[in-house]
Amino acid sequence: MKRGEDALHDFVRDRRLALFRSAYLICGNRDDAEDLVQTTLVKVVLGWRRWQRLDNIEAYARKTLYHTFIAGRRRFWRREYAYGELPDRAVPEPDAETGMAVRAALAGLTPKQRAVLVLRFWEDQSVEATAAVLGMRENTVKSHTARGLAVLRARMERETEREREGERV
């Protein structure tokens, strides 16, 4: 293998899991997240010759991930989901319940709001870095953050109220 191909192989091996974690948060399920990471890595690999001109391949991959996610949500065929038989639900642990509630609340946001919140709070990016990754103005990132957090808070409060009402019954 050539030196550039070794670097490419190392990058894919080392960063795949980090990309998957972010993809899982914005997609809301494992299958879509795996598909998104695979599509992103294919795009990165196909553009590997440009790596020598890129300053930060990690930023390029992350930007590709979010742009691919947002573009995929614009397509109508992505809105159809086939459901087979649903499995019986096991009783989740308390931490798992919180995680499920957060993921469900994230799923109710627009794709851009989800992308902004995951970048800002999961990947701990600044407003400026998030704006650069998503190709938005900083004020747009701030407004998506504020609106997305407001929706998340409202949904989490409703979920907490439902749990309290369930305990009273």
User: Is residue 72 packed enough to be buried (19+ CB in 10 Å), middle (13-18) or exposed (0-12)?
Assistant: middle
**CATH 1.10.1740 domain range(s) in the chain:** 1-86
pLDDT of residue 1 exceeding 50, the answer is: no
DSSP state of 32: H
- Choose between 119 and 100: higher pLDDT: 119
| Mean pLDDT computed over 21-46 | 90
User: Is 103:28 a contact under the CB 8 Å cutoff?
Assistant: yes
127 vs 98, which has greater pLDDT?
127
Model pLDDT, residue 46: 81
Largest CA distance in the chain: 67
Cα dihedral value 157, 161, 167, 169, nearest 10: -160
Q: Determine the Cα–Cα distance for residues 133 and 56; give it in Å rounded to an integer.
A: 12
CATH class of this structure's domain 91-169: mainly alpha
Q: Fold for domain 1-86?
A: Rna Polymerase Sigma Factor; Chain: A (1.10.1740)
Average pLDDT of the chain, as a whole number:
81
Q: In this predicted structure, what is the pLDDT of residue 57?
A: 80
The segment(s) of the chain belonging to CATH 1.10.10.10 are 91-169
- Rg of the chain, C-alpha, whole Å: 18
Is 50 exceeded by the pLDDT of residue 45? yes
Residue type at 45 in one-letter notation: V
Residues 145-166 have a mean pLDDT of 85
Q: What does the pLDDT read at residue 12?
A: 84
Question: How far apart (Å, rounded) are the C-alpha atoms in residues 52 and 66?
Answer: 22
